Structures are given as structure tokens and as C-alpha cells.
Structure 1
Amino acid sequence: MHLRRFPRLRRAGRAVAAYVRSAPGTYIWLAVLFATTVVMHRMAPDRVDAFLRLRSTNIHNLSRHPLRALVRSALWIDGGKWLPYVVPYTVFHATAERWLGTKRWLAVVAVGHVLATYISEGVLLWAVRHGHAPRSAENTLDVGVSYGLASVEAVLTYAVVTPWRYVYGAGVLLFYGAALAEGRTFTDVGHFTSVLLGLACYPLTRGRPGRIDPAVAYRWLRGRFSPAG
């Protein structure tokens, strides 16, 4: 099949390539996650858990080699399913990187990933020391990219024009707040903390006015897909 015979397909391909280039950090990270997921799928199933625990940001690893644990944990996906991450990375991470720029976007990710990890593991350590959690919890499995994603979802509140900004921000808080109220695990604490940290990253959004307008998007979709009058 030659693309010259399909101009729409060619234009779509160029548009996708341009979008990927506009958010290099997002798609490089996604590519790394794809590679590590392939590696994990090639392991014997009985080795995966121990392998991921060595790369986990649990109490044991954070107390011995914190920097290595924090970096490694952001490069692996617990569960081994990569494809479901393509949509949230494109919708949230790529949008935030295009809006803030790569350096500011990466700063938001780092704030959410690092601080929420320490806060949630600190809560878990308190629970262990006061008898509310078993000692074995110090070596629990805690890898993944969800804290950074939650902080980016929250900071995008400032990319939405008012009054929709308040609706979006409240929705993010309610979503993660409900999960915390229902689950009350240390990961739920981490996710909700990430949201608060993302909202606290407001200074990084200065000079980047909100440009996401749901009303405009709705009118565009309605005009494109509604039947001709």
C-alpha cells in the first residue's frame, strides 16, 4: 500500500507524528515503559514479583538507596499491561507537556512522584510502628507511574478556562478523594497527595494561560458530527 494513494491517511500520519514530536518527554517515557513491559513478559512468572520488589519504592528500598528506587519504580508497570497507558499519557501527560513545556511538565511529574511516595510510605511506616500494619509491609510492592499521572491530571486544572476549571478540578478531587475514603490504603493516600501536590504546582503554570475550553470542543464536535440541517 502506497501512502500517496491515500492522502487522508498520509495527513493523519503526519498529524500524529507532529503531535508525538510536540511532547517528546511523554512519548520517550511511554516507549521506555513499553520496553520494560516486554522485558517483564519474557520473564518466568515466578520471578516477576521478586524482580519488581527490587525496583519498588517501599520502605526497605527508600531507606537504603532512595534515588535508585525512585527512578527505577517510574520505569515499570505493575500488572504488565502497557496499552491502557497510551490513552492517559496522550490525554494528560502530552497535553500538560505541550502546555507547560517539557521542563515544567517534568517538574510536576517529579513533585508528584517523589513527594507522594515519601508521604504515603511515611504513613505506612507509621502504621507499621504503631501495630496497624504488619512488619512485612516495609517490603511491599510499590512500582508504577500513577502518582506522577495524578499530579499532572491535577495541574491541568489551570489549563482549563473558567468556569469549567472549577468543575474539572472538583472532579479530580472527588475521584481520588472517593478512592481514598473507600480504600484507605497507602497507595490511595499517595494518589490523593499527588493531586494536592499537582494543584500546589500553580506557580509553574504562570505565564501559561488556560486554553482548554470544553464549550468550544462541544461546538466543534456538534458541528462535525450532527446531521446537516
Structure 2
Amino acid sequence: MKPPSPRALAGRARTWVWDWVRSTPGTHIWLLIIGITSLVIASASEGLEQFLLHRNSSNIHELNEHPLTSLLISGFWIEKPGSFLLYAVMFELVHANVERWMGSWRWLLTVGAAHVAATLASQELVLLAIEGHRLPRSMTHVVDIGVSYGLAAAAGVLTYRLPPPWRYGYLVGVLVFFGVPLVTGATFTDFGHAIALSMGFACWPLTPAARVEEWEADAAPRTDGADDPGPPPGGPQE
């Protein structure tokens, strides 16, 4: 049997990549925007870079001044453009797999809700620490941008995608990755990651696995006699 030519292999690879991207549009549109904003940060002067990072943060000051836009825009920036390739790999491994499995709208609902909830909860923690004089008031302008909250939520949902026994090893790894920083000198970001991860776990009802389980439960024969039609009207028949 003649092996496929390099041109045929390249054609198959292009088809596979296109099908993958087309089946996960949200992940790749998001990644494209992050790539653009990372280029902007990388090419900006130090003063402009600091302005952009602070202006697009979802810190206490920006949440008070521009609550909706700061919540939305902060999810499209990363503080260190050099880490973009790492985020691209994580998007492909985590976000793309979850979006392809759940569907774009359920995936977006999961990561969007987690991003908003984790941001608000973590900044509320900062506010309480400032009011309790445990943090300086300058923390109201802290840089709080990035995509890690949505990524943590997707990592939580991905647990249900993996079959046993891989699921349990993955779950332990995720809990260790996010849990160790939380119990060893947690920052407000670590607290936000824990919130987002928990919301990912809580989104089990949105997954295809939950819908299959519900369908199987509905289709299973009843054992409480509800499916027994009983004797026909008029008593037993000879």
C-alpha cells in the first residue's frame, strides 16, 4: 500500500485544524483578541503599558467607575505578553475541549459567570482587607486582568469530560494546583481561582454527561409499580 504523499498529509492536517477551529469558535476568537492585546502591550512604552494595564483592570477603582466594561474588557488582556504561548496551549487543551464538548453557549455561560463571580468576590476580599487596614489603600488600583478565572472554571468542568480512572488523577492534580497556593499564603487572585474552579465543578448540570444521565434515568423501567397498568377494567379476565 502506497503511503500518502506529503501534500496529502498537509491537506489532511489543514482540514483537521480547520474543523477543530470551526467547532470551537469562542475559544479561538478569544485567543485571537488576547494575541492582539498582547502585541499592543509588548510594543507600548512603559508609561502606556502601565496606563493600559490599569485602565483595563477590574480592580476596585475601575469597578466603581466602569463596572460593566471593566468586567468584560479585563478578560481580554494578560499582564505579561511573553506568556501568550503558554496561554495558547492551555486554551487548546482546556477551553477548546470544553467548548467542543459542551457547546459554545454553555461553555461561554460557564466561563463568563465564573470570571464575573471570581472577580467580584476577590475584589470584595481586597476591599475588606483595606477597610481592616491589612492592605494599603493603593490596592484599589491594583492590576487585576487576565483570563485565569475563566481558565480555572473550564478546568473544573473538564473533570467530567475525562473517563475514569483518568478523571480522578486529573481531579487530584487540579485541586493541588489551585489548592496549594490557597493554603500557603493566599492572595486575592488565589481566592478568585478557588471560586472559579468551584463554579466549574458546579456546572455539571450543563454538561452533556448530565443530560445523558438524566435521559437514561427517564428511560429506565420503573420499579415502584408506576409502569404496571394493573388489571383491566372490570376485574380479571378469563
Q: TM-score scaled by structure 2?
A: 0.82
Cα displacement (A) at 1:107: 0.7
Do the aligned residues in 1 keep the contact of 2:94 with 2:155 (CA within 8 Å)? yes
1:227 maps to which residue? Answer: none
Post-superposition CA distance 1:117-175 (Å, at most 9, x none): 11111111111100110000011000010000000001111111234323322321121
CA distance in 2, matches of 1:80, 1:129: 33
Q: Does 1:93 align with 2:105?
A: no
* Residues 95-129 of structure 1 deviation map (CA, whole Å, 9 limit, x = unaligned): 00000000000011112100001111111111110
Name the structure 2 match of 1:24.
25
Larger radius of gyration: 2
User: Aligned to 1:102, which of 101, 104, 107?
Assistant: 104
Contact 2:74 2:144 in 1 (8 A): yes
Question: Is the 1:151–1:197 contact (alpha carbons within 8 Å) kept by the matching residues of 2?
Answer: yes
Pairwise CA distance, 1:5: 5.6
Question: 1: distance between equivalents of 2:19 and 2:50?
Answer: 38
Q: What is the root-mean-square deviation in Å for CA atoms of aligned residues? A: 1.5
Any conservation in 2 of the 1:99–1:208 contact (CA below 8 Å)? no
Amino acid paired to 1:28: I
1:192 and 1:164 map into 2 onto residues whose CA distance is 22
1:207 is the counterpart of 2:211: yes
Report the number of matched residues. 206
Q: Distance in 2 between matches of 1:117 and 1:71?
A: 11
Unaligned ranges ≥5, structure 1: 210-229
Partner letter of residue 175 of structure 2?
L
Q: Which residue of the partner structure matches residue 15 of structure 1?
A: 16
C-alpha distance after superposition, 1:47-91 (max 9, x if no partner): 211221011010111122211001110111111232221110000
* 1:181 equivalent in structure 2: 183
Q: Pick from 77, 84, 106: which aligns with 2:86? A: 84
Runs of 5+ consecutive residues of structure 2 not aligned to the other structure: 214-238
Q: Secondary structure at the match of 2:201?
A: helix
The 1-side partners of 2:166 and 2:40 are apart by 42
| Alpha-carbon distance between aligned partners in 2 of 1:5 and 1:132, rounded to the nearest angstrom | 63
Q: Distance in 2 between matches of 1:204 and 1:172?
A: 20
% of aligned pairs identical?
A: 42
Superposition TM-score, scaled by structure 1 size: 0.85
For 1:74, the aligned partner's letter is G
- What does 1:55-204 align with in structure 2 at a 5 Å threshold? 55-81=56-82, 82-204=84-206
> Equivalents in 2 of 1:46, 1:139: separation in Å?
15
Runs of 4+ in 1 over 3 A off after TM superposition: none
Preserved CA contact (<8 Å) 1:108 1:198: yes
Task: State the alpha-carbon separation in 2 of the partners of residues 65 and 164 from structure 1.
Answer: 43
